[in-house]
Structure 1
Amino acid sequence: MLLRRMTPAVSVIAGLAVLGPACGSASNDADGTAAAATTRPGTIPGASKLDVSSLTDRQLAGQRVIATFRDTGTPGPQLRRLIRRGELAGVILFSREAPDIAAARRLADQLQAEARRSPLPLPLLVMIDQEGGDGRTTGARRLRDAPPRRSAAQMGAAGTATARASGREAGRALRRAGVNVNLAPVADVGRAGAALRREGRTFGSSVRAVGRLTAAFVTGQRSSGVASTLKHFPGFGAARVNTDDAPARIGLSTSTLRRVDEAAFVPGLKAGAKLVMLSNAVYPALDTLPATLSRRIAHTELRTRLRFGGVSVSDDLEATGLNRYGSPATRALRSARAGVDLVLLGRRASSAVAAHERLTAAVTDGRVPRAQAEAAARRVLALRSSLRAGG
């Protein structure tokens, strides 16, 4: 299905200017549904002639979906169809289908070619977890021939110059691979006995050190034109288990979460990180729901307290730790209703297709108010317009 009033929208998209860092600002209200004072309601900051009210329900829903094809090895006809119709925001790559830079580039080029022929010819978000390390830890180096060679723990021990250089090197390699969003760095403050500490995925145990190193990595990566993602908000550094494997409950007080864990994200945001990933853990001091399904966390803590105006993304909604919260499509709807911009389905291609259908129906029947869907689409399309399709 094509855009309504499509011709002017296409001509505007083709000439979109590169945007600045997607940092928080007072012009975003708590829902993100009020536009900046200099921008007409419905339009994208930095691209004021592109009106998201011209998007179909299916396209609005699609701007919130990140798909995988790790189960099929190649993007099948359903995902390609969504891309050609402007109904998919992006994809996430894993080692099976993209083991190295060359393989990732071939896939990225194919998918970006489909996107250029769509009614929304903006670069797709091509994401990967390229945190660093030897590849044996969860979420470490996905591309075996790309940096960073050091893990986050090793970068932390070496200092900010090394973290900055690692971010720059990772960004350059990802650009060659056709990847424009890195789901890194980890901004979590590691505690003794925590899963992330065991995996070497945290910069350290001090909020000051983690914040400083996170900002350094973001600064280096930004210089290469790759968008950074801070994770896992509001902080996963005290979890004893990984939510990919089991449910996690983090019993820190609201005061500690805000003073330590959330505070560690602030330097990375100031350094220009364009995305923040929500954790799949439960934080009883804040809500009974996992962060990625919690409006209080995705909206009140991230948007209102931290004044984040960029793109929020869920952790993998197919993670084992979320099994009690319904099907992946149900979780995607709950996450979107909580105010998360991008819902990430990281195990099966069919889950992203189902999530897209569920979100489309919810926009159509009002369970996801159109104003909220348009606000998310503005942020996602602004991000897409600010990135390049390849190196």
Structure 2
Amino acid sequence: MTGARPQQGTRPPSAAPEPSTATCLDRIGSHMTPVQKVGQLFVAGVRVRPGSEGTMAASLAALGNHHVGSVILMGPSGAGASAIKAVTERVGLLGQTVGESRVAPLVSTDQEGGQVQPLRGPGFTDIPPALAQGGWSEQRLRRQAAQWAAELHGAGINLDLAPVADVVSSGMGRANGPIGRYDRQFGYTAEAVSGHSAAFIEGFRQAGVLTTLKHFPGLGGVRGNTDTTAQVTDNVVGRDSRDLTVYRQGMAAGARFVMVSLATYTRIDPARQAVFSPVVIEDALRKDLGFDGVVISDDLGNAAAVQSMPPAQRALAFLRAGGDLVLTVNAEHIPAMTAAVLNAERDQPALRARVEASVRRILAAKKATGLIHCAD
């Protein structure tokens, strides 16, 4: 999700599991039921706003029924780290015992800074917007990012849907609806954004929190915000664009997740939105840049950009295009989405193979951040 409502390539380090890890993940995969595997492919919204306790309890119960393996905490909340820790402990009950191993959930949020910082209050630093962070040295940003990540880690959060890797030109500036309007970019050149994105990622790695480069292949050249606008189109970014070097460097810095945008890129695939395009995901991201981590969608729940398609079809189209992790901030879509995948894979070997590969990538990321403990 863009999060902009106020409130030949380098492989990522350790992307390929070590032999002992591979054995562990193979064993878990062999013990998982089809329903459990499909559940791992989804991250659903959980409200942590004041007064949302009843809704949260019902939502977590429903997610447990569908074996959902990841959540995103939706603010704004000013209750502080202790209150969020109490929430993440409840979210932890979504973890599953598979064979003799425990698979805990990924707990994520959009903690970028500035107007996109859903978690505030005691225990959370007020993070400046990325444009201000971009004025710091990379060393300072790396140090500050490690502190922010340690705060999230202490509150039970293990995945941040940041940093923003979009390059907004100085000519576009605040006319860029999803990024520039909210000062979410680190700077106005690919070089500036690359160095600071990498520093952010490295700081988070120090604290053991996973990061997400977004929004591939870039929202810096558009005017409309896909959260609130349909048919957002970019006519500039191509597979050879310099802006994509930001993703290459972020992967080298250790980003295990890349979020794909909901815009359409006429120079890459004019027929489909990026999130539903195998040309964008399989060719531009995986083949050109060598990414073998987890590909997560931008919001396929409430975003205006996908409302013309039924929720179940959104999930299937993303997975068929090569995506791994379906994000929906609207947890009410989970039953229809998971059922659609389960029904389709029964007689579609190609989809079933994609599900297996996606589950493996997600489990590898979980293992890397300590969410899987194997009985070796």
TM range (shorter): 0.7 to 0.9
* Distance change (3 Å), C-alpha of 1:130 and 1:78: closer
Give the 3-state SS of the residue equivalent to 1:380 in structure 2.
helix
- CA shift, 1:165, in A, is 2.2
The 8 Å contact of residues 230 and 275 in structure 1, kept in 2 or not, is answered as yes
Q: How many residues align?
A: 348
TM-score (norm 1): 0.81
Partner of 1:16: none
2:210 corresponds to 1:232: no
CA separation of 1:126 and 1:160: change in aligned 2, threshold 3 A: same
Q: Cα deviations across residues 289-322 of structure 1 (Å, max 9, x unaligned)?
A: 1111111111111111111111110000121111
Q: Matched residues in 2 for 1:24 and 1:234: separation? A: 21
The structure 1 segments of at least 4 consecutive aligned residues displaced by more than 6 Å after TM superposition are 24-27
Give the drift of 1:49. Answer: 4.6
Q: Is it true that 1:83 corresponds to 2:67 in the alignment? A: no
- Partner Cα separation in structure 1 for residue 14 and residue 235 of structure 2: 30
Pairwise CA RMSD of aligned residues? 2.7
Q: What pairs with 1:189-338 in structure 2 (closer than 5 Å)?
A: 189-191=167-169, 192=172, 193-195=175-177, 196-247=179-230, 248-254=232-238, 257-287=239-269, 288-318=271-301, 319-324=303-308, 326-338=309-321
- In structure 2, do the counterparts of structure 1 residues 46 and 237 end up closer, same or farther at CA, with 3 Å as the change threshold? farther
Aligned partner of 2:363 in structure 1 is 381
Q: Find the aligned partners of 1:116 and 1:22 in 2 and give their Cα distance.
A: 30
Tell me the amino acid that sits aligned with residue 212 of structure 2: T
Which residue in 1 is equivalent to 2:4?
Answer: none
Secondary structure, counterpart of 1:113 in structure 2 = helix
TM-score by length of 2: 0.85
5+ unaligned residues in a row in structure 2: which ranges? 1-9
The Cα of 1:50 is off from its aligned counterpart by 1.6
Distance 1:310 1:284 in 2: 25
CA contact 1:333–1:359 (8 Å) conserved in 2: yes
Say yes or no: does 1:23 pair with 2:12.
yes
CA distance in 2, matches of 1:200, 1:76: 35
Q: Does 1:59 align with 2:36?
A: yes
- SS of corresponding position for 2:118: coil
SS in 2 for 1:344: strand
Contact 1:101 1:177 in 2 (8 A): yes
What residue identity is the alignment partner of 2:103? L
Residue identity in the other structure for 1:333: L
Post-superposition CA distance 1:230-277 (Å, at most 9, x none): 0000111112121111021111152xx533221111111101111110
Residue 296 to residue 122, structure 1, CA distance change in 2 (3 Å): same
- Does structure 2 conserve the Cα–Cα contact (< 8 Å) formed by 1:53 and 1:374? no
Q: How far apart in 1 are the matches of 2:102 and 2:39?
A: 14
Structure 2 residue 143 is the aligned partner of structure 1 residue 165: yes
* 1:106 and 2:86 are equivalent in the alignment: yes
**Structure 1, unaligned runs of 5 or more:** 1-20, 28-35
- Tell me which residue corresponds to 2:340: 358
- Verify the 8 A CA contact 1:317 1:345 in the aligned structure 2: yes
**TM-aligned CA deviation for residue 207 of structure 1:** 0.7
Identity rate, percent: 32
1:14-53 paired onto structure 2 within 5 Å? 23=12, 45=22, 47=24, 49-50=26-27, 52-53=29-30
Larger strand proportion of the pair: 2
Q: Kindly indicate whether the alpha-carbon contact (under 8 Å) linking 2:31 and 2:98 is maintained by their aligned counterparts in 1.
A: no
